[in-house]
Amino acid sequence: MKRTSRRLADGREIIYFDGDAAPDRTAEDTRQLPPQAPASEMRRDPLTGEWVAIAAHRQTRTYKPPAGACPLCPSTPERPTEIPETDYEVAVFENQFPSFAQGIEGASGTVPGMPMVPSAPAAGRCEVVCFTSDHSSSFGALSRERVRTVVDAWADRTTELGQVPGVEQVFCFENRGEEIGVTLHHPHGQIYGYPFVTPRTEKTLAAAEAYLREHGRPLMGDVLAAERASGERVVVDSEHWTAFVPAAARWPVEVNLVPRRQVPDIAALTEAERDDFARVYLDVLRRLDGLHDRPLPYIAAWHQAPVSTGRDLSWLRLEVFSVLRSADKLKYLAGSESGMAVWINDVTPEQIAERLR
């Protein structure tokens, strides 16, 4: 794979990931952009201990532009975009409207008048990952070779962002479909470098630690073995990966893709595991789109180990879920889910797994 790092007009980094036969990436960003001045802040909720990012500058971010004004398409002489090249394979660049960023000024302290509410600059990094230059395509329409390039890009960014001072967790994800909240239709995902371990990961690590202490075995290893032995919720099983609907699925459509071997993050996957993932994931996405005979809106979220804690407890997995509960109905988060985080599913995991098979 060929990796090329360049700079956009406002100083943000853009990185191209290409096959060996791709041309050199030398195009310059011709736009007149002011230097980046991110001003995100984070405050910790004293009632839950969870950090909340305050990023008021994101109110002006790009919102549902027409295809002819897409900022993620390749540049043309008439219309320069976020990606200066006239074509590309996979491109990753720093988000112009980041929730977390480097170089934020300010000191840690507390919210004025609220000594129990710590505050700090939201230091970290947010990146955009463009999977293809084809605006009308999708991740599921990519070739295996292109998916493999994306996996290598995720691995590269996981390693690099993990070395950014202050970053404690790297989160790679894709949102697809307006029903999910997508405001740019070009096939893309994002990567967050958080300055803390996320609440979801903290709970996962606590459960894994308690199970290991009681049983002497990794929790996900036993879950995976039980799912494969039962087969009732398994959707795809391969040499290196198993895709299954979790037994306690929250969403009307939910699939976990889990490697057979315990690894902490994407960067730890072998060449064979990355190749096999490309095949299995494309298979799963094809099944998801066939579920209601329409492109399925979904979120694909990589659960990786934090940078400096819990790595021996973590087991990499990709969680794919959708809010679409039937061909023409959405699952809205109601009072129980939004207010108390107590989930109620309208379909059994076994039913959805059978339909996906």
Active site residue 188: yes
How many angstroms separate the CA atoms of 221 and 1, rounded?
32
Kind plus residue range of the DSSP H or E element containing 347: none
Identified catalytic residue from 185, 186, 188, 303: 188
Q: Which of 187, 135, 150 is nearest to 318 (CA)?
A: 150
What end-to-end distance do the CA atoms of the chain give, in Å?
Answer: 34
DSSP 55-114: -GGGGGS--S--GGG-TTSBP-SS---SB-SSS-SEEEEE-SS-SSBTT-----EEETTE
Q: 298, 177 in Cβ contact below 8 A?
A: yes
Cα distances from 205 to residues 64, 70, 263, 310, in angstroms, run: 37, 39, 14, 7
Q: Give the catalytic positions in this structure.
A: 188
